[in-house]
Amino acid sequence: MDYNQLCKDVMDLDSSIRFSMVVIDGVRRFGGYRYDVVGALDSDELTQSISYAFDRMIGRFLAEEKLGRTKYAMAEYEKVKRVTFPLDQKTLLLVSMDVKSRHNKIITLILKLIIKHAKRKK
Protein backbone atom coordinates (compact mmCIF):
# COMPACT_ATOMS: atom_id res chain seq x y z
CA MET A 1 0.00 0.00 0.00
CA ASP A 2 1.30 3.47 -0.87
CA TYR A 3 0.99 5.13 2.54
CA ASN A 4 2.02 8.58 1.30
CA GLN A 5 -0.74 8.52 -1.28
CA LEU A 6 -3.26 7.21 1.26
CA CYS A 7 -2.48 10.13 3.59
CA LYS A 8 -2.79 12.61 0.72
CA ASP A 9 -6.09 11.10 -0.43
CA VAL A 10 -7.47 11.26 3.11
CA MET A 11 -6.51 14.94 3.38
CA ASP A 12 -8.25 15.63 0.08
CA LEU A 13 -11.56 14.23 1.36
CA ASP A 14 -12.57 17.19 3.52
CA SER A 15 -11.09 20.52 4.57
CA SER A 16 -11.97 19.79 8.21
CA ILE A 17 -9.31 17.05 8.31
CA ARG A 18 -6.34 18.44 10.27
CA PHE A 19 -3.86 15.61 9.81
CA SER A 20 -3.50 12.17 8.33
CA MET A 21 -0.62 9.98 9.49
CA VAL A 22 0.44 6.38 9.10
CA VAL A 23 2.03 4.86 12.19
CA ILE A 24 4.07 1.66 12.02
CA ASP A 25 5.04 -0.08 15.26
CA GLY A 26 4.03 3.02 17.20
CA VAL A 27 6.19 5.44 15.18
CA ARG A 28 4.92 8.05 12.70
CA ARG A 29 6.26 7.15 9.26
CA PHE A 30 4.08 8.94 6.68
CA GLY A 31 1.77 11.90 6.38
CA GLY A 32 1.43 15.00 8.48
CA TYR A 33 -0.59 18.11 9.14
CA ARG A 34 -2.58 20.12 6.63
CA TYR A 35 -0.44 23.05 5.44
CA ASP A 36 -2.58 25.66 7.24
CA VAL A 37 -2.99 23.81 10.55
CA VAL A 38 -1.03 24.51 13.70
CA GLY A 39 -0.83 21.35 15.79
CA ALA A 40 -2.41 21.42 19.23
CA LEU A 41 0.37 19.21 20.59
CA ASP A 42 4.09 19.91 20.45
CA SER A 43 6.38 17.33 18.84
CA ASP A 44 7.04 15.35 22.03
CA GLU A 45 3.36 15.36 23.02
CA LEU A 46 2.38 14.17 19.55
CA THR A 47 4.94 11.36 19.69
CA GLN A 48 3.57 10.30 23.09
CA SER A 49 -0.04 10.50 21.87
CA ILE A 50 0.79 8.36 18.83
CA SER A 51 2.44 5.77 21.06
CA TYR A 52 -0.64 5.66 23.32
CA ALA A 53 -2.97 5.29 20.32
CA PHE A 54 -0.87 2.38 19.07
CA ASP A 55 -0.92 0.68 22.49
CA ARG A 56 -4.71 1.10 22.77
CA MET A 57 -5.25 -0.43 19.34
CA ILE A 58 -3.05 -3.40 20.23
CA GLY A 59 -5.30 -3.90 23.25
CA ARG A 60 -8.38 -3.85 21.02
CA PHE A 61 -6.92 -6.61 18.86
CA LEU A 62 -7.10 -8.93 21.88
CA ALA A 63 -10.91 -8.74 21.89
CA GLU A 64 -11.35 -9.25 18.15
CA GLU A 65 -11.81 -13.00 18.39
CA LYS A 66 -15.07 -12.40 20.23
CA LEU A 67 -16.10 -8.96 18.96
CA GLY A 68 -14.93 -9.04 15.35
CA ARG A 69 -12.32 -7.02 13.49
CA THR A 70 -11.76 -3.44 14.65
CA LYS A 71 -12.82 -1.00 11.92
CA TYR A 72 -11.82 2.18 13.75
CA ALA A 73 -11.72 3.86 17.15
CA MET A 74 -12.69 7.48 17.74
CA ALA A 75 -12.10 10.00 20.50
CA GLU A 76 -13.82 13.37 20.58
CA TYR A 77 -12.10 16.06 22.58
CA GLU A 78 -13.31 19.62 23.15
CA LYS A 79 -11.07 20.93 20.36
CA VAL A 80 -10.58 18.04 17.92
CA LYS A 81 -11.77 14.57 16.94
CA ARG A 82 -9.26 11.79 16.33
CA VAL A 83 -9.96 8.52 14.57
CA THR A 84 -7.62 5.53 14.48
CA PHE A 85 -7.95 2.97 11.68
CA PRO A 86 -5.96 -0.28 11.85
CA LEU A 87 -4.41 -1.12 8.48
CA ASP A 88 -2.81 -4.30 9.80
CA GLN A 89 -1.50 -5.61 13.14
CA LYS A 90 1.42 -3.15 13.16
CA THR A 91 0.14 -0.26 11.05
CA LEU A 92 -2.42 2.43 11.88
CA LEU A 93 -3.87 5.40 10.08
CA LEU A 94 -4.46 8.32 12.46
CA VAL A 95 -6.77 11.10 11.34
CA SER A 96 -7.60 14.28 13.22
CA MET A 97 -10.45 16.59 12.27
CA ASP A 98 -12.15 19.73 13.49
CA VAL A 99 -14.66 19.23 16.28
CA LYS A 100 -17.51 20.51 14.07
CA SER A 101 -16.70 18.10 11.23
CA ARG A 102 -19.22 15.57 9.96
CA HIS A 103 -17.15 12.65 11.25
CA ASN A 104 -19.62 9.90 10.27
CA LYS A 105 -19.41 10.92 6.61
CA ILE A 106 -15.63 11.32 6.74
CA ILE A 107 -15.10 7.95 8.46
CA THR A 108 -17.21 6.20 5.83
CA LEU A 109 -15.16 7.81 3.05
CA ILE A 110 -11.87 6.89 4.75
CA LEU A 111 -12.93 3.25 5.15
CA LYS A 112 -13.68 3.15 1.39
CA LEU A 113 -10.28 4.71 0.64
CA ILE A 114 -8.50 2.11 2.76
CA ILE A 115 -10.20 -0.68 0.80
CA LYS A 116 -9.35 1.02 -2.50
CA HIS A 117 -5.68 1.40 -1.54
CA ALA A 118 -5.48 -2.18 -0.25
CA LYS A 119 -6.72 -3.45 -3.61
CA ARG A 120 -4.03 -1.45 -5.44
CA LYS A 121 -1.40 -3.31 -3.44
CA LYS A 122 -2.40 -6.65 -4.92
Confidence (pLDDT) at 121: 60
Q: Tell me, what CATH number does 21's domain have?
A: 3.30.450.30
How many whole angstroms from its chain centre is CA 121? 19
In this prediction, residues 49-78 reach a mean pLDDT of: 91
- Is the pTM above the cut of 0.75? yes
- Residue range 11-59, pLDDT digits in tens: 999 999 999 999 999 999 999 999 888 888 888 998 999 899 998 888 8
Closest CA to 95 of 33, 37, 27: 33
- What is the span of the domain harbouring residue 84? 3-121
- Under DSSP, the state recorded for 73 is E
Residue 27's H or E segment, with its range, is strand 27-33
Count: domains in the chain: 1
**Type of residue at 93:** L
DSSP-based three-state secondary structure for 76: strand
